A and B are shown apart, each in its own frame.
Chain A
Amino acid sequence: MTGETLYPRLEPLLAQIQKPIQYVGGELNAQLKPWESVDVHWALMYPDAYEVGLPNQGLMILYEVLNERPDALAERTYAVWPDLAALMREHGVGQFTVDGHRAVRDFDLLGVSFATELGYTNLLEALDLAGVPIHAVDRDETHPVVVAGGHAAFNPEPVSDFVDCAVLGDGEQAVGDITDVVKAWKAQGRPGGREELLARLARVDGVYVPRFYAVSYGPDGTIAAVARTRDDVPAKVGKRTVMDLDEWPYPKQPLVPLAESVHERMSVEIFRGCTRGCRFCQAGMITRPVRERTITGIGSMVDAGLKATGYEEVGLLSLSSADHSEIGQLAKELADRYEGTNTGLSLPSTRVDAFNVTLANELSRNGRRSGLTFAPEGGSERIRRVINKTVSKEDLVRTVTTAYANGWTQVKLYFMCGLPTETDEDVLEIAELAVEVIRAGREASGRKDIRCTVSIGGFVPKPHTPFQWAAQASAETIDHRLRVLRQAINADRRIGRSIGLRYHDGKPGVIEGLLSRGDRRVGRVIERVWREGGKFDGWSEHFSYDRWTQAAAAELPAFGVDLDWFTTRERTEHEVLPWDHLDSGLDKEWLWEDWQEALSEEEVADCRWTPCYDCGVCPTMGTEIQIGPTGRSLIPLTVV
């Protein structure tokens, strides 16, 4: 029988492994429906460890949206750590869902959310553990349809051998359309088998089925053309965009795990999309336009979520939360509502702006005060113009000093290195900044114990951004710049001891770069890495750079390309990029112009406050900016 629980066979294995709680399910607000009560069964996977995957908003939203349908159920599955995976193979227990402990093999669909490309090997591991052929062509109609989603799905070409389809953009409505198609096909007795099902899915708005597109290559290794192989599928697949976020107040019942997770708080998405135009930021490019949730919509989600979870902190999420048109009022009125309840409110990292210190003061009024995080991203004013995230050095120092003066003792600053046109001098300015911030901060706060943590990572150029043509900096370049930065920070110990430096070496970024801007030929590399034991590539203790470079050296030369070709090579204007047939709405000519403007250090303004600059998204997708202010306000909650 399908849909049977594997738990009795799993339970003896759980007694022999680390952190068994992550595999037992039963989280607060988890749902479990009878298998036979629905027509369509979805397994939703976050391809990383449970502690990282459980808090993922995207997965939680789709889980609820699908389970609200009377004709569908959704259960969750996460990457299994090697200790349990070995026992599962030994005892013949397949990849399972944590809700019903049902075999992933039994589901109609396996949806996988790729927030990062480093989860690709975990997909192969899960498919193999599930007993599902890792290659899409080897699957028949008894196997689940493997659907990729998430930001990485905007270039699914490297995993096109392994996934059956990819969904571009917001998933809330797309999963419903896919469910309808699968339901109808099953009800009709599965006509035409898997091929017909996939052809029907390829006609769903936002769904890309790689097998119906053929890629040919030129003598120089670049793509000559991407052509569809059936004329009933779209030549170009466009993304999905959910309008009116107030209509989609998900998750309504956020999952609360027993196990510790990376985010011990609930989150409310206060808007989606961003038009600040930071040129490195794929999220900001592919999620346009800005769609705000209203202040009252946010208020009810915070209230319902806190009641449903018992969390003591609420994160107000978005790509740049301080930009919400009602953020000041929202912060004050939420803090008023939760006065005296030990409920903390927080923002993710914000832009460098003194106003954001005021906001943070307000938001942390009732809760614990941890630290404050700003994201200047670029070390020098020049490089900040290149990436279009302009803030002057004076403003930066003034803002951080204000934070210290307001009693914040920990300030974290996010930077990147390896940005286009960057030199050692740009990165060394980070050290000057940090020193100045500590000096001014000690003076303003009268305290010696203030700290500044500089967190810095290597930049990886991403598809659908103006930097998609850029040469990625080599691991050696990144490591060199990090080294000189560390030396500069440590030069004066009296100040340097108040500055923490957190960084990753340049190697994982190179592999992320290969997977981000790779094409179908990179699939062979991913498969070889996985066959040689690669998984959990986002974890430094599991990631092996040598395994990746050796696999690339073994697989890519047959195609006349190599690792550097995909990473440190600058692309030319008219090169066919692997994702050109996948439409984020951004006009490729506009992206190129923006790339040229980056090189000449020209800024572009935000279209929320200045006239449209024709990035192309709204007219192509039939969408529009949705922002307030609404003029509404939050009334105090009734005290029972």
Chain B
Amino acid sequence: MARQPEGPPPPPTVQKLRIRYAKRGRLRFASHRDLARALERALRRAQVPMAFSAGFSPHPKISYIGAAPTGAASEAEYLEIGVAIRCDPDAVRAALDAALPDDVAVLEVVEAQEGTGSLAERIDTSVWRVELPGVALADLQPAVEKFLASEVVTVAKRTKNGLKDIDARPAVAGASASGEAGCAILHMVVRQVTPAVRPDDVLAALAAVADLRPPLPPRAVREAQGRLDDTGTVADPLGPDRAARAPVPGEHAAV
């Protein structure tokens, strides 16, 4: 029989909290692992009463949902945590936000409501905004149109096992172009498929169909995540929890 640590098992999860946060500015260069470490430490500094897994190496109960790639900023990253003492979601939001670096902002914390399903099931699509410094709208616009008009756009994607060809077209549910001074902006709605199609892959596709080659590294921001419906709208993944929230009883632990 496997050995068990001495002492009582850790206290159970009594509440699940779903968190939306942003990574901005310089911290767009943080990888998912970097952010996960920062979040775990911030939860400790904020004294959030985390629930832990049992065993010799207890880990706090945290699940991350689809992280934005290193180098991309995001206004819509999600995670879910389990706590051992009930907490006021707004107090957790404020305490966690204060404990994180300035370029990581905790935007919303809601209590997961029973019977509303898992958070992961509510996310299958990303909304991206990609700034292209040094690219003119007049060049981006036709490139996007040409891409959308194509049925298949094969690009080489760098994976752990070297370069692999993927079709970047089907994952892109919609795309458009706009412009600011000296900078064209690509807007797109991209389905989260396997293998993943990331902003870099779509840019490679624009290079392939229209020879669009930005002179400077593009800056991508994930603006939203959620479930894509038939009307092309991406639904807020925290919406069902917010909607199902019962009137708040006054029994919250302080954070």
Q: Do chains A and B stick together as partners?
A: yes
A314, chain B: closest CB distance, angstroms: 13
Knowing A258-B37, A310-B41 are in contact, say whether A28-B101 is a contact too (CB < 8 A). Answer: yes
Distance of A256 Cα from B40 Cα, bound (Å): 12
Segment at the B interface, from A16-24, A62-70, A475-483, A627-635: A16-24
The answer to whether residues A12 and B34 also contact, given A24-B27, A310-B42 and a CB cut-off of 8 A, is no
- Contact indicator A24/B29 (Cβ below 8 Å): yes
A185 on the B face (CB < 8 A): no
Contact check, B27 vs A310: say whether CB atoms are below 8 A apart: no
Residue B116 is within 8 A (CB to CB) of chain A in the complex: no
Determine which of A16, A311, A342 lies in contact with B41 in the assembled complex, contact meaning CB atoms within 8 Å.
A311
> For window 30-67 of chain B, which residues contact chain A by CB distance below 8 Å?
30-31, 33-35, 37-38, 40-45, 52, 56-58
A368 part of interface (Cβ distance < 8 Å): yes
Least Cβ distance of B72 to chain A in Å?
10
Residues of B within 8 A of A369 (CB): 56
Are B27 and A26 touching (Cβ within 8 A)? yes
Q: Is the CB of A16 within 8 A of B43?
A: no
Question: Residue B26 contacts which of A26, A307, A312, A368 (CB distance < 8 angstroms)?
Answer: A26
What range describes how many residues of B lie at the interface? 20 to 34
Q: Mark A255-272, 1 if CB is under 8 A from B, else 0.
A: 010111000100000000
B38 touches A258 (CB 8 A): yes
B112 to chain A, nearest CB (A): 23
- As a 0/1 sequence over residues 86 to 104 of chain B, the CB contacts with chain A under 8 angstroms (1 = contact) are 0000000000000101110
A260/B37 contact (C-beta < 8 A), A20-B71, A368-B58 known = yes
Judge if A498 is at the interface, Cβ distance under 8 Å. Answer: no
Q: Nearest-CB distance from A542 to chain B (Å)? A: 23
* B1 contacts the other chain (CB 8 A): no
8 Å CB contacts to B: which residues of A369-399?
369
Q: Which one, B40, B70, B103, B216, contacts A20 given CB within 8 A?
A: B70
B58 / chain A contacts, CB cutoff of 8 Å: 342, 368
Q: Is the CB of A21 within 8 A of B29?
A: yes
In contact, A368 and B103 (Cβ under 8 angstroms): no
**B101 x A258 contact (CB < 8 A):** yes
Q: Chain A contact residues: over half helix, strand or loop, or mixed?
A: loop
Contact A260 B33 (CB under 8 A): yes
- Chain B's closest residue to A15 (CB) is B217
Are B30 and A21 interface neighbours, CB within 8 A?
yes
* Complex contacts, B27 vs chain A, CB 8 Å: 21, 24, 26, 258
Q: Smallest CB-CB separation from B220: which chain A residue?
A: A15
Please name all residues of chain B whose beta carbon is closer than 8 Å to the beta carbon of A14 when the two chains form the complex.
29, 71
Query: In the complex, what distance in Å separates the CA atom of A12 from the CA atom of B38?
Result: 24
Nearest opposing residue in chain B for A341, CB measure: B44
- Cα A20 to Cα B3 in complex, Å, equals 42
A63–chain B nearest beta-carbon distance, Å:
18
Cβ contacts under 8 Å, B216 to chain A: 12
Contacts A15-B71, A16-B217, A311-B41 known; A21 to B34 CB distance under 8 Å? yes
Q: Which residue of B has the minimal Cβ distance to A25?
A: B26
In the complex, whether A309 has a CB less than 8 A from a CB of chain B is yes
Using Cβ atoms and an 8 Å threshold, which residues of chain B touch A28?
A: 38, 41, 101
- Bound Cα distance from A21 to B70, whole angstroms: 9
Establish whether residues B26 and A310, one from each chain, have CB atoms under 8 Å apart when the complex forms. Answer: no
How far apart are B47's CB and chain A's nearest CB, in angstroms? 8
Q: Is the CB of A368 within 8 A of B217?
A: no
| Complex alpha-carbon distance, A312 and B60, angstroms | 11
Q: Which residues of B contact A259 (CB under 8 A)?
A: 30, 34
When distances are taken between beta carbons in the complex, the residues of chain B under 8 Å from A19 are: 31
Name B72's closest neighbour in chain A (CB-CB): A15
Q: 8 closest pairs, A vs B, by CB?
A: A310-B41, A15-B217, A20-B29, A310-B45, A310-B44, A24-B26, A258-B34, A21-B29
**Pairs across A and B, CB under 8 Å, 9 listed:** A21-B27, A21-B70, A23-B29, A258-B27, A258-B35, A260-B34, A308-B45, A309-B45, A310-B41
Given contacts A12-B217, A14-B71, A258-B101, 20 further A-B contacts (CB under 8 A): A20-B29, A20-B70, A21-B70, A23-B29, A24-B26, A24-B27, A26-B27, A28-B41, A258-B34, A258-B37, A258-B38, A259-B34, A308-B45, A309-B45, A310-B43, A310-B44, A311-B41, A368-B56, A368-B57, A369-B56
Task: Give the interface of B toward A (CB within 8 A).
Answer: 3, 26-27, 29-31, 33-35, 37-38, 40-45, 52, 56-58, 70-71, 99, 101-103, 216-217
